[in-house]
Amino acid sequence: MRPRRFLPSGPLKGTIRVPGDKSISHRAIMLSALAVGESRITGLLEGEDVLATAAAMRAMGAAVERIGEGEWRVHGVGVGALLQPEAPLDMGNSGTSTRLLMGLVASHPISATFIGDASLSKRPMGRVIEPLSLMGAAVDASEGGRLPLTLRGASPAVPISYRLPVASAQVKSAVLLAGLNTPGITTLIEPVPTRDHSERMLAGFGAELNVEIDDDGARVITLRGEADLKPQTIDVPGDPSSAAFFLVAALVMPGSEIVIENVGLNPTRAGLIHVLRQMGGAIEELNPRLVGGEPVADLKVRHSALRGIEVDPAIAPSMIDEFPALFVAAALAEGRTVTSGLDELRVKESDRLTVMADALTAAGARIEEREDGLVIEGTGGEPLAGTSGAPVATHLDHRVAMSMAVAGLASCEGVEVDDTRPIATSFPVFEDLLEGLTA
């Protein structure tokens, strides 16, 4: 454990650049490892989660090499040519690595054992085991469909048409990645759109992938298997989920004005910005451009008097990782914020409804926890009391730790967090950037 008290601070001032997008970084390594030849990646997120993906792809035969800060070179083995890993694949804290790699292994003639930390070992894998079993993979999982588990791939795998029962980009991506080495057409029906990085990047690597909208408005994604992926040069845009903590911090801290450079604004990820603007947040998009085929801008953020709102549950998939940060903004807004439709938050790195409700309550916020969301009565801009007794429990959840760090800035006593180590899974330079802006 590495506890830390995040102290009250003055305004945030200055310019920062957020590290590469975690979702895109995972996919960049995996797809490069499946292309024949050399891919180059710049702006890669060098957090523990992505490093777990890199190590796993190495264990399955790809040459994955760091050549500079955020700069990587990958020699892929080709779709169908992944090697049997000799040891269990240690996924650490990373659900994305686990679920996407299970998809890859599912259609290769190899087997792999997946292990992870205490948080990951509690998370449900049944949602990927089900479609991958339909494709022919054999899975021997721990009780409740959890890690550790061993997955034996099918060769050849069977193409399926699968309607996603949960709005999950990880499940969608697991099936698409399995489809890469499956003869014929794999079809996914996605009633509620989720982040589309897999679709964009698979097409970018040369896979035959189509997206159509059916009569019910669902996205129908088809992928032709036994694909030949061509090596690419990829520039990874900055992670909007990392920018979220600084967006909220600058909005709630009086006198703040910051610029966050290089923020990915893919519409399937930009929900938090819409919601914060609805609450009255001053967020300007400067210098809009495309990076690696994704819309990106620099965000200028000024302190704003936020008002509580009722958050439309339909926007949740486009900000699914940003609710912990939003809850902090709501705790400092004027009036009541109501969130609902957030059952998925209970199966993230922690149960983010209970864990954030407990942490914010300990810091002096007024929170009501409901089955599928939180209701938050804001302070109207007054700082929270902060914690004086026990540190808040982050349950191995990086986003809880970073959110409560922001709550600490906007408090009278500061907020003590029990463990800051998990921050390194997604945002190793978070504390340095925070110190720079509050210095």
Q: Which stretch binds ligand S3P (CB under 6 A): 1-9, 169-177, 306-314, 405-413?
A: 169-177
Options 239, 321, 397, 419, the catalytic residue? 321
Contact 259, 300 (CB under 8 A): yes
The answer to whether 397 contacts ligand S3P (rule: CB under 6 A) is no
Q: How crowded is residue 118: how many other Cβ atoms within 10 Å of its Cβ?
A: 9
Contact 359, 323 (CB under 8 A): no
The answer to whether 320 contacts ligand S3P (rule: CB under 6 A) is yes
Please, what sign has the CA dihedral across residues 264, 353, 8, 417? Answer: negative
Shorter beta-carbon distance to ligand S3P: residue 168 or 181: 168
The answer to whether 39 contacts ligand S3P (rule: CB under 6 A) is no
Binding mask 86-115 for ligand S3P (x = CB under 6 A): ----------x-------------------
Q: Which stretch binds ligand S3P (CB under 6 A): 8-16, 139-147, 162-170, 305-313?
A: 162-170
The answer to whether 168 contacts ligand S3P (rule: CB under 6 A) is yes
Q: Rounded CA gap, 385 and 364, in Å?
A: 5
Q: Rounded CA gap, 236 and 264, in Å?
A: 9
Binding mask 338-367 for ligand S3P (x = CB under 6 A): ------x-----------------------
The answer to whether 321 contacts ligand S3P (rule: CB under 6 A) is yes
Q: Rounded CA gap, 179 and 269, in Å?
A: 24
The answer to whether 170 contacts ligand S3P (rule: CB under 6 A) is yes
Residue 187: strand pairing partners: 161, 222
The answer to whether 169 contacts ligand S3P (rule: CB under 6 A) is yes
Largest CA distance in the chain: 61
Among 16, 20, 23, 221, binds ligand S3P (CB under 6 A): 23
DSSP designation for 310: B
Binding mask 177-206 for ligand S3P (x = CB under 6 A): ------------------x-----------
E strand or H helix at 5: strand 4-6
Shorter beta-carbon distance to ligand S3P: residue 108 or 172: 172
Q: How crowded is residue 215: how many other Cβ atoms within 10 Å of its Cβ?
A: 5
Question: Token digits for 53?
Answer: 């993906």
Binding mask 52-91 for ligand S3P (x = CB under 6 A): ----------------------------------------
Question: Token digits for 130?
Answer: 């089900």
The answer to whether 268 contacts ligand S3P (rule: CB under 6 A) is no
Among 119, 173, 256, 266, binds ligand S3P (CB under 6 A): 173
* Residue entry with tokens 């209701």: 375
Residue 121: strand pairing partners: none
| Known catalytic residue at 90 | no
Q: Which stretch binds ligand S3P (CB under 6 A): 140-148, 163-171, 273-281, 282-290?
A: 163-171
Amino acid at 67: I
Shorter beta-carbon distance to ligand S3P: residue 96 or 107: 96
Q: Rounded CA gap, 257 and 315, in Å?
A: 27
Contact 164, 117 (CB under 8 A): no
Q: Is 388 exposed, middle or buried (0-12, 13-18, 19+ CB in 10 A)?
A: exposed
Supply the minimum distance, in Å, between the C-beta of residue 69 and ligand S3P: 23
Applying CB under 6 A, which residues contact ligand S3P? Answer: 23, 96, 168-170, 173, 195, 320-321, 344
- Residues labelled catalytic: 321
